[in-house]
């Protein structure tokens, strides 16, 4: 009987809570092999309007090469370029400048011989700005604004009834140059984490572009001079561990692009989140949520503007909002409208929560039993209209390594 009890106990433990035994994948405040800037927004019609500033910092005593990929809110790579960082170097970018065709020019005068292809004019990180103008620049903005552009009738992003450019950015440590790529019809952005044909990720010593070196950190500012508003938060450091994530069927940060075979070796992000919300008191402007999430799809195709990506909508399996007394005021399940795309800014007011102050918890997953979980990152932004605002990271309630893809 004792053995039966023990067997049942072990079976129960293994079947119900085995994720807790998995080695954890903490996302801390330390450098990573990749950086995620979960959301950017630029008001391209107002030079004094909202923009996004980012910094990429090299916390190592060696020069490093990194690849910056700008993705639309449909997770389509629209622009990619390399940054050469000296030891302990930092590179700042105003996304407004980038959308005007000016990308950072780095590595001039440096010895780039340690990095293959960097000396080639086609792939060098040294640029003469602007690197794209006129219709190519307008097309980039169109892709990020969710509209057809002068060169393409297809779309790469969600139209949100304005001309603001939106998306997210990843930065990876790489060991060879891939050059500047700008999306256009017949000109896909090739050298990105999506590329498995000429592999972006792969085993150490094999053919690959990205490497594991946890040396990057950064920060992210949303700046609206016209609105006297700014928020700031650190970039999400994605730590890589080359000794872990032997596939198949293992969740990693970029796993969707390689059938979750673990080749990118990067910690996945959490799928369950908690955050506070305020709408009143000092924060009369209420709370917005920035939510980045994994599409769980390798698709990076442009699509008809009214069609949208094949993976849309991304589901929120549940959202529970409580007031400050702990009472449940809103409960949603299997919601396809809350945070349906790869990155977005959503006002809490639009969710229809029945309290002005409280906390909410939600699951980025496909079903009530948390099937098809999707990693994500959440930033609440609280504002006092026209006076001040702030943001910080929400709190993960689980560990990305506790779920299977």
Instruction: Write out the binding residues for other proteins, residues 16-55 only, by CB under 8 A.
Output: 16-17, 19-24, 26-31, 53, 55
Q: For other proteins, which is the closer residue by CB, 246 or 301?
A: 246
Q: How far is the CB of 159 from other proteins (least distance, A)?
A: 29
The position carrying tokens 């000296």 is 86
Of 65-73, 205-213, 269-277, 345-353: span binding other proteins (CB under 8 A): 269-277
Is 12 a binding residue for other proteins by CB under 8 A? The answer is yes
Count of residues making up the chain: 405
Q: Looking at 167, 179, 376, 396, which residue binds other proteins (CB under 8 A)?
A: 396
Q: How far is the CB of 263 from other proteins (least distance, A)?
A: 22
Q: Give the integer Cα–Cα distance in Å for 140 and 125.
A: 20
Residues 364-383 touching other proteins, rule: CB under 8 A, are 382
Sign for the CA dihedral angle at 53, 59, 65, 70 comes to: negative
Q: Looking at 358, 366, 373, 405, which residue binds other proteins (CB under 8 A)?
A: 358
Q: Tell me, what DSSP letter sits at residue 19?
A: G
Is 388 a binding residue for other proteins by CB under 8 A? The answer is yes
Residues 171-200 touching other proteins, rule: CB under 8 A, are none
Binding residue count for other proteins, defined by CB under 8 A: 76
Q: Residue 70: enclosing H or E segment and its boundaries? A: strand 64-72
- Contact 285/385 with Cβ under 8 angstroms? yes
Q: How far is the CB of 231 from other proteins (least distance, A)?
A: 6
Q: Looking at 126, 131, 230, 346, which residue binds other proteins (CB under 8 A)?
A: 230
Q: How many CA atoms lie within 13 A of 54 on its CB side?
A: 27
Of 89-97, 120-128, 308-316, 332-340: span binding other proteins (CB under 8 A): 89-97
Q: For other proteins, which is the closer residue by CB, 159 or 388?
A: 388
Is 234 a binding residue for other proteins by CB under 8 A? The answer is yes
Exposure class string for 242-271: b at 16+ Cβ within 10 A, else e: eeebeeeebbbbbbbbbebbbbbbbbbbbb
Is 97 a binding residue for other proteins by CB under 8 A? The answer is no
Residue 322 backbone phi and psi in degrees, to 5: -120, 150
Q: How far is the CB of 79 from other proteins (least distance, A)?
A: 22
Quick check: helix, strand or coil at residue 201? coil
Q: For other proteins, which is the closer residue by CB, 86 or 303?
A: 86
Q: How far is the CB of 41 from other proteins (least distance, A)?
A: 15
CA distances from residue 179 to 138, 194, 291 in whole angstroms, order as listed: 21, 16, 30
Q: For other proteins, which is the closer residue by CB, 276 or 296?
A: 276
Looking at the DSSP bridge assignments, the partners of residue 187 are 184
Q: How far is the CB of 392 from other proteins (least distance, A)?
A: 5
Q: For other proteins, which is the closer residue by CB, 165 or 379?
A: 379
Exposure class string for 7-27: b at 16+ Cβ within 10 A, else e: eeeeeeeeeeeeeeeeeebeb
Of 69-77, 88-96, 109-117, 333-341: span binding other proteins (CB under 8 A): 88-96
Q: Give the integer Cα–Cα distance in Å for 209 and 174.
A: 5
Q: Looking at 45, 120, 129, 228, which residue binds other proteins (CB under 8 A)?
A: 228
CA distances from residue 78 to 197, 202, 203, 220, 239 in whole angstroms, order as listed: 19, 23, 27, 20, 24
Q: For other proteins, which is the closer residue by CB, 220 or 341?
A: 220
Is 223 a binding residue for other proteins by CB under 8 A? The answer is yes
Q: Give the integer Cα–Cα distance in Å for 319 and 241.
A: 32
**Going by DSSP bridges, is the β-strand pair 316-323/328-335 parallel, antiparallel, or unpaired?**
antiparallel
Of 116-124, 176-184, 343-351, 386-394: span binding other proteins (CB under 8 A): 386-394
């Amino acid at each position: 009987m004792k053995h039966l009890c023990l067997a049942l106990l072990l079976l129960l433990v293994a079947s119900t809570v085995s994720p807790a035994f998995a080695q954890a994948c903490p996302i801390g405040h330390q450098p990573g092999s990749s950086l995620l800037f979960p959301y950017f927004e630029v008001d391209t019609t107002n030079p004094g309007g909202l923009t996004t500033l980012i910094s990429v910092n090299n916390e190592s005593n060696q020069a490093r090469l990194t690849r910056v990929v700008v993705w639309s809110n449909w997770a389509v790579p629209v622009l990619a370029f390399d940054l050469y960082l000296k030891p302990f170097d930092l590179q700042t970018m105003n996304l407004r400048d980038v959308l005007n065709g000016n990308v950072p020019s780095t590595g001039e005068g440096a010895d780039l011989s340690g990095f293959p292809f960097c000396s080639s004019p086609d792939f060098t990180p040294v640029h003469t700005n602007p690197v794209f103008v006129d219709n190519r620049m307008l097309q980039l903005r169109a892709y990020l604004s969710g509209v057809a552009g002068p060169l393409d009738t297809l779309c790469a992003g969600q139209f949100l009834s304005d001309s603001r450019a939106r998306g997210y950015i990843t930065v990876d440590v790489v060991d060879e140059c891939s050059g500047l790529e700008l999306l256009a019809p017949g000109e896909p952005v090739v050298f990105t984490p999506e590329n498995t044909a000429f592999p972006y990720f792969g085993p150490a010593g094999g053919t690959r572009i990205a490497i594991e070196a946890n040396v990057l950190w950064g920060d992210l500012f949303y700046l609206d001079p016209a609105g006297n508003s700014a928020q700031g938060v650190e970039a999400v450091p994605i730590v890589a561990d080359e000794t872990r994530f032997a596939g198949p069927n293992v969740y990693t940060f970029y796993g969707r692009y390689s059938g979750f075979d673990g080749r990118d070796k990067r910690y996945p992000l959490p799928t369950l989140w908690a955050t506070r919300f305020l709408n009143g008191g000092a924060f009369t402007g209420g709370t917005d949520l920035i939510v980045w999430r994994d599409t769980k799809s390798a698709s990076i195709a442009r699509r008809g503007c009214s069609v949208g990506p094949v993976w849309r909508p991304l589901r929120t399996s549940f959202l529970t909002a409580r007031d400050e007394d702990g009472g449940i005021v809103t409960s949603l399940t299997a919601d396809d409208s809350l945070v349906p795309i790869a990155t977005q800014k959503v006002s809490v007011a639009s969710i229809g929560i029945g309290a002005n102050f409280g906390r909410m918890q939600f699951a980025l997953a496909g079903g009530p039993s948390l099937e098809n979980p999707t990693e994500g990152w959440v930033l609440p932004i609280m504002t006092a209209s026209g006076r001040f605002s702030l943001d910080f990271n929400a709190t993960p309630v689980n560990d990305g390594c506790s779920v299977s893809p």
